[in-house]
Structure 1
Amino acid sequence: MTQPTSRNRLDEEASPYLRQHADNPVNWQPWGDGAFERAREHDVPVFVSIGYSSCHWCHVMAEESFEDEGVAEVLNDGFVPIKVDREERPDVDSTFMTVSQLVTGGGGWPLSAWCTPDGKPFYVGTYFPPEPRRNQPGFRDLCERIADSWADPEQREEMKRRAEQWTTSARDELESVPDAGTGPDEDDAHPSGADLLDEAAAAAIRGYDDEYGGFGSGGAKFPMPGRIDLLMRAYARSGRDAALTAATGTLDGMARGGMYDQIGGGFHRYATDRRWTVPHFEKMLYDNAELPMVYLDGYRLTGDPAYARIASETLGFLDRELRHEGGGFFSTLDARSAPPEGRRGDASDGDGSGHADVEGAFYVWTPAEVDAVLDEPAASLAKARYGIEPGGNFERGTTVPTIAASVAELAEEHDLAVDEVRERLTEARVALFEARESRPRPARDEKVLAAWNGRAISAFARAGGVLGEGYAAIAREALDFCRDRLYEADTGELARRWLDGDVRGPGYLDDHAFLARGALDVYAATGDPEPLGFALELAETIVDEFHDADDGTIYFTRDPEAADDGEAPAGDGALFARPQEFTDRSTPSSLGVAAETLALLDGFRTDREFAAVAEAVVTTHADRVRASPLEHVSLVRAAERFETGGIEATIAADAVPDAWRETLGERYLPGALVAPRPPTEAGLDAWLDRLGMGEAPPIWAGRDAVDGEPTAYVCEGRTCSPPETDLDAALTWLAERREPE
């Protein structure tokens, strides 16, 4: 019979993940209306495979199945096969992942879904082996059975009924808002942010692994920066030692383990074991943006310089290895690469050539490899420090470096002074890093995503006060990169992705919310009003195009009925739901970040529209958040911000004094909004003209400098200190208000 698709069309795509599959014998199609039209025309199901470029098991399934001619024949004859880069199409990923979680109780990548020609899944799973294994069907056999079932009219009707049931359930989950008259009682319309924070922190403490840090006592461990943040906030509010112990214990566990790259800095995706020893080795931009922010707060809260070092090294990794020369940040480094010269020729490597890409090859070490780089006693010190021993802790006798011995222990064991051990280890680490640089490097996905760049911009901007002004300058360059390449000022359109000049979009809620928050953080760090103006523009787009006033929520995608022809991403007609992103996963909830950012930006408006939208979101979803505050950390923060007004520090000065900026950068002020403004009304009028504002917004109005001196107005809970020309005096006023209850 005629194949539904005549060829693999991924060579026309810019996405590195899609292009990785352009040479497959499978006739892959990109997600789009054309693919579903061919399925309807030929009356065949659609097979949707969702993944991303650095996904280890995506590579494995591709090598085992998608590169197999026999499997390709089955897929090409009986299906329209579609490949989706989840990083480019998070809306598609979200809808299908929701079905997987509802039906199977779990999910992950690669995500595999078989659908009707109108895009409704009737069979879902993740990785499938080529042959049956451990109660999993073999992929080819499964495809043949599904194709045969589709050809049987009675079975096809059952598959369609199942698809309708599944998509209805997923739609109910993704589009869930309370029916009119069934929301929270009027007297308790939105939840108490402070109470929710305490409840979420208590739940995090209950799940804390007090032996190794992190949450959960078995299996894989993921970085959960949102939980660490709320634990630190809860400690600052209540003084409860258990909250601080869980936060710092988790920071310490991650920093000691193999999930942290002990030689080059930066974090891998997650640990496969309770002890944080062996990671999945891909390095994602979002992890290495989120984690420095909580390590910086850990330093601010405890004064432990190790946390500032981890933040600095992680941001240094981003600057060194994921930064475009123009300032934006790339997306990922792959988990796999060819093994270095000394490890080649091992028949267990892939196809036996010894040159197949191997997970973790760039990062792991053997004792002999250390000895080849370092002389004694540096070699012995480094091997003991990083736990590099014969047999190793990973595959093929290699070791993922961890902190296996303290400097004091090594000093005692080797009869050396502590300072000498520390100096020798520093030199050894530099030498090992330089030697590692000669190894074959993991592939890099060079997509520049607006959302992920927004989080990186926030991280660098917030680091400026602690680690130096150069970090804020990097944040500004990245923001300018995104604005210049992804944003059309004339239309207000923000695109999702830039890749070597190719732009794909339009952007989703996370793109707008994360980049708006990043722009706000750059304004706070630099005192330049231009990034603030950009943040306000993006926030207006959120309200205009993603907010639904009738439903009282903000959706992840634009209103499809309001979108102009040609503006919606191709294939949206096949999406069976308009998702909301409630929970914090590998990145924060875009719904929560949008609501919190609108609440923060409301002080720069005179109409209170942003506050009204933020209030609507936390009110609409109050019952959902109350039921499980730990799963909705970003929405908890948004509720707390709206309820309390948070901390604000307006500074009237020609430039924020360096000493003030350093003080603000090092003081733990969770969620604080720093709002610089010119010292005089005349200067403020010039700013208002630049921003197109008719009058001064509340956060600036009437807050001139006193006697020409830099002046701080510090507020919390909508109550403000007197104007102070001594920042320490203003912060003392705040500290007295914030004494733990």
Structure 2
Amino acid sequence: MSQPTERNRLASEASPYLQQHAENPVNWQPWSDEAFERAREHDVPVFVSIGYSSCHWCHVMAEESFEDESVAAVLNESFVSIKVDREERPDVDSAFMTVSQLVTGGGGWPLSAWCTPEGKPFYVGTYFPPEPRRNQPGFRDLCERIADSWGDPEQREEMKRRAEQWTTSARDELESAPTPDSAGDSNPLGEVHLEDDLLGEAAAAAIRGYDDEYGGFGSGGAKFPMPGRIDLLMRAYARNGRDAALTAATGTLDGMAAGGVYDQIGGGFHRYAVDRRWTVPHFEKMLYDNAELPMVYLDGYRLTGDPSYARVASESLGFADRELRHEDGGFFSTLDARSRFPVGRGKESSGLSGNSDAETEAVEGAFYVWTPDEVDAVLDEPASSLAKERYGIRSGGNFERGTTVPTVSASVAELADERDLPADEIREILTEARVALFEARESRPRPARDEKVLASWNGRAISAFASAGRTLGEPYAEIASDALAFCRERLYDEATGGLARRWLDGDVRGPGYLDDYAFLARGALDVYAATGDPEPLGFALELAESIVAEFHDADDGTIYFTREPEEIASDHTGDDALFARPQEFTDRSTPSSLGVAAETLALLDGFRTDRRFAEVAETVVTTHSDRIRASPLEHVSLVRASERVASGGIEVTIAADGIPDEWQETLGERYLPGALIAPRPPTDEKVGAWLDDLGLDETPPIWAGRDVVDGEPTVYVCEGRTCSPPETDLDSALEWLAARRESE
């Protein structure tokens, strides 16, 4: 019998993850209608493998199994094998991950699924070892057993029944949209009072799960950054003054910043820590982590005044600017966890420069870890001893092969007391030592970089840099503006309003998903707020229009992650095989796109003269109110959207020819969670010019009647749809806001 697929077809794919597998002996196919048609023609199952370019265990499984000729022979003979980059096809990943979580109680990457020729999974898992291990089957043996079972008519029918059951359950989960009559206990939004206790309930749940010894959430196993939880804890503290909420927020910020999950030498966050103490990370560096986390560190600084939080935010954004930014402004996706180093590093080899004559191997974390000898080779005394003590770099290490992941193991005060030296002198020595270690590290073999520019992740980075622009000044806002311009020029079709998913060296793949539209719209809104430039606001409004037109289903009262399949462009193949149209309810490594979309529509509603955006946002949070209330901690972004819809949030309208510098500084220093900053020109004549550019027929509510007073820059502060008098002194307006809160 001929093989269903004669060759590996990944060489023509632009995705770096698919390119990593283009030389495998497995006859990989990209996700496409053709691949599923092949399976139907040859009456064989489909094996779907989902991962991403910087995934450590994806690399391991590839080396152990997908590069093995005997494994490839089984896959090529008995299956159609499909490789999926989860970052390019988050819809496929969401559908299959939901099945995995429902069936096995967990998920992760690589995600492995065996499916019927119609694309319905009947067996799922993540990483499989080459030989049986720890109650896991060996991968080749598993493939052979599945192929044999498919060949038995009775067993095949059972596999098909299972696939139907699983996909029905996943579809129910992903497409869940209660009817408007049943949502919110049949009450209209005004009677649901979503804002009254959701934030407090979510914060209380986060506090219960808080690790009060090391920070973070959960007391065993891996620790993941959860910026959404930190944000809600800070909001809860600002609202009710509960010390436990602030303690959990700052304890988590401190724990991460002192641990190995934070790159102590070069700045920026790794993906997560494998231990409770935040010491040893999985070393890949993702753009989204280095956008989400700086935003909560900036808010931590605004709330507490602790300058260390501003430093961590600045260093993390500095990493993204230095190592993930395209020269024309957009941001690349990831740095790999691994790089190539001489065999035996940490024993007989220093590994600093990676001797080209030595045998090398791909080693996770090799770029970031140190031995005492490596530090001594860079620094003289006393800097060497101080740096080793400061960062816990010692013989034997805390990681593999005797190496150490740097952590903050001794404070400046402790080092100063120990040596009877002024703290400022210790701090100066350590600063110079860190620079020297960073420069030495730059000569090491570097981790590979995935140079996809994703609209969604860039949206989050744009928001982060815009936020930093208010607090840290230039050049952050300019970087945000450049990244937005990059995405608009390369990923957006002005004629159709269509946004593509990704750009990679001139190759564009799309169309975009809800997260692309929602995150980029929010980023554009944040650039307008930071700069006072109306052009990004106009772009945000255009993207919001597309969200409503393309992703909102009025009958279901929700916003889906994808368009209707028949509306998807022809270059988005394989969608007939996708068994569900997902919604993204929960916050994971990135915020819920459904929550961000609803909140962004609510924010942008003030710039419309009808209530279309508000009505969609209200419908979404009402439709899903029971889900949100049942588990607010798992739905942080939807909680935020619900609060914005129900209460109106904080609005700061500034009438001026540009935001005064001292006002920018004040706004950047104040903790105003979720505040919408809405600059406008000082006169009606100039507002009219903006309206023409924005395609508006009349002045929107957030600007209407809010003119300058006595020719001076004037601010109007509102909360809960109640507004201050016009003020020419920003501090006075913010005092009004503080007094209003104290009186409640």
TM-score of the pair, normalised by structure 1: 0.98
Distance 2:347 2:154 in 1: 54
1:492 maps to which residue?
A: 497
**Residue 573 (str. 1) matches residue 576 (str. 2):** yes
1:418 maps to which residue?
A: 423
Shift of residue 601, structure 1, vs aligned partner: 0.2
Distance 1:564 1:503 in 2: 15
Change (3 A) 1:727 1:565: closer
SS at 1:93 equivalent: helix
Out of 297, 300, 306, the residue aligned to residue 298 of structure 1 is: 300
> Contact 2:511/2:568 (CA < 8 Å) preserved in 1?
no
1:33 maps to which residue?
A: 33
Shift of residue 415, structure 1, vs aligned partner: 2.0
Shift of residue 193, structure 1, vs aligned partner: 1.9
> Contact 1:47/1:112 (CA < 8 Å) preserved in 2?
yes
Q: Structure 2: which amino acid aligns with 1:262?
A: Q
**Residue 104 (str. 1) matches residue 104 (str. 2):** yes
2:328 maps to which residue?
A: 326
Shift of residue 654, structure 1, vs aligned partner: 0.6
1:47 maps to which residue?
A: 47
1:585 maps to which residue?
A: 588
Distance 2:743 2:342 in 1: 54
Unaligned runs of 5+ in 2: 352-356
Distance 2:361 2:347 in 1: 10
Distance 1:591 1:550 in 2: 16
SS at 1:132 equivalent: coil
**Residue 6 (str. 1) matches residue 9 (str. 2):** no
Distance 2:26 2:229 in 1: 42
Shift of residue 41, structure 1, vs aligned partner: 0.5
Matches within 5 A, 1:356-505: 356-505=361-510
> Contact 1:191/1:619 (CA < 8 Å) preserved in 2?
no
Out of 229, 250, 253, the residue aligned to residue 251 of structure 1 is: 253
**Residue 734 (str. 1) matches residue 734 (str. 2):** no
2:281 maps to which residue?
A: 279
SS at 2:635 equivalent: helix
Distance 1:155 1:172 in 2: 26
1:162 maps to which residue?
A: 162
> Contact 2:565/2:576 (CA < 8 Å) preserved in 1?
no
TM-score of the pair, normalised by structure 2: 0.98
**Residue 674 (str. 1) matches residue 689 (str. 2):** no
Out of 501, 522, 526, the residue aligned to residue 521 of structure 1 is: 526
Q: Structure 2: which amino acid aligns with 1:63?
A: E
SS at 1:112 equivalent: strand
**Residue 720 (str. 1) matches residue 723 (str. 2):** yes
SS at 1:9 equivalent: coil
Distance 1:354 1:305 in 2: 45
Distance 1:506 1:337 in 2: 33
How large is the Cα RMSD of the aligned pairs? 1.4
Shift of residue 469, structure 1, vs aligned partner: 2.6
Change (3 A) 1:26 1:258: same
Out of 622, 627, 634, the residue aligned to residue 624 of structure 1 is: 627
SS at 1:701 equivalent: coil
> Contact 1:496/1:505 (CA < 8 Å) preserved in 2?
yes
Distance 1:488 1:544 in 2: 16
Shift of residue 338, structure 1, vs aligned partner: 1.1
SS at 1:361 equivalent: coil
SS at 1:59 equivalent: helix
> Contact 2:652/2:716 (CA < 8 Å) preserved in 1?
yes
Matches within 5 A, 1:662-701: 662-701=665-704
Matches within 5 A, 1:531-542: 531-542=536-547
Q: Structure 1: which amino acid aligns with 2:10?
A: L
> Contact 2:343/2:358 (CA < 8 Å) preserved in 1?
no
Shift of residue 346, structure 1, vs aligned partner: 7.5
Shift of residue 599, structure 1, vs aligned partner: 0.3
1:612 maps to which residue?
A: 615
> Contact 2:345/2:401 (CA < 8 Å) preserved in 1?
no
1:543 maps to which residue?
A: 548
**Residue 130 (str. 1) matches residue 130 (str. 2):** yes
Q: Deviations over 1:164-189 (max 9, x none)?
A: 00000000000001146432234364
Q: Structure 2: which amino acid aligns with 1:40?
A: R
Q: Structure 2: which amino acid aligns with 1:160?
A: K
2:93 maps to which residue?
A: 93
Shift of residue 525, structure 1, vs aligned partner: 0.5
Distance 2:742 2:30 in 1: 56
SS at 2:326 equivalent: coil
**Residue 710 (str. 1) matches residue 690 (str. 2):** no
Shift of residue 559, structure 1, vs aligned partner: 1.7
**Residue 560 (str. 1) matches residue 565 (str. 2):** yes
Q: Deviations over 1:285-308 (max 9, x none)?
A: 000000000000000000000000
Q: Structure 2: which amino acid aligns with 1:666?
A: E
2:354 maps to which residue?
A: none
Out of 228, 231, 237, the residue aligned to residue 229 of structure 1 is: 231
Shift of residue 634, structure 1, vs aligned partner: 0.1
> Contact 2:4/2:76 (CA < 8 Å) preserved in 1?
yes
Distance 1:691 1:20 in 2: 44
Distance 1:7 1:413 in 2: 65
> Contact 1:239/1:740 (CA < 8 Å) preserved in 2?
no
Distance 1:609 1:652 in 2: 26
Distance 1:58 1:560 in 2: 29
Shift of residue 564, structure 1, vs aligned partner: 5.9
Distance 2:346 2:219 in 1: 37
Distance 1:434 1:603 in 2: 49
Shift of residue 686, structure 1, vs aligned partner: 0.4
Out of 276, 289, 299, the residue aligned to residue 291 of structure 2 is: 289
Q: Structure 2: which amino acid aligns with 1:65?
A: S
> Contact 1:184/1:622 (CA < 8 Å) preserved in 2?
yes
1:507 maps to which residue?
A: 512
Q: Deviations over 1:558-587 (max 9, x none)?
A: 1224x16626x1100000000000000000
Q: Structure 2: which amino acid aligns with 1:514?
A: F
Q: Structure 2: which amino acid aligns with 1:96?
A: F
> Contact 2:511/2:569 (CA < 8 Å) preserved in 1?
no
**Residue 598 (str. 1) matches residue 611 (str. 2):** no
Q: Structure 2: which amino acid aligns with 1:407?
A: V
Out of 660, 663, 671, the residue aligned to residue 660 of structure 1 is: 663
Change (3 A) 1:490 1:188: closer
> Contact 2:716/2:725 (CA < 8 Å) preserved in 1?
yes
Q: Structure 2: which amino acid aligns with 1:66?
A: F
Q: Structure 1: which amino acid aligns with 2:307?
A: P
Matches within 5 A, 1:188-199: 189=189, 190-199=192-201
SS at 1:639 equivalent: helix
> Contact 2:346/2:403 (CA < 8 Å) preserved in 1?
no
Shift of residue 731, structure 1, vs aligned partner: 0.5
Distance 2:728 2:346 in 1: 65
Out of 631, 645, 650, the residue aligned to residue 647 of structure 1 is: 650
Runs of 4+ in 1 over 3 A off after TM superposition: 186-191, 344-347
Q: Identity of counterpart residues, as a percentage?
A: 83
Change (3 A) 1:173 1:543: same
> Contact 2:342/2:358 (CA < 8 Å) preserved in 1?
no
Q: Structure 2: which amino acid aligns with 1:211?
A: E
Change (3 A) 1:650 1:690: same
Unaligned runs of 5+ in 1: none
> Contact 1:322/1:332 (CA < 8 Å) preserved in 2?
yes
Distance 1:344 1:84 in 2: 36
Shift of residue 740, structure 1, vs aligned partner: 8.5
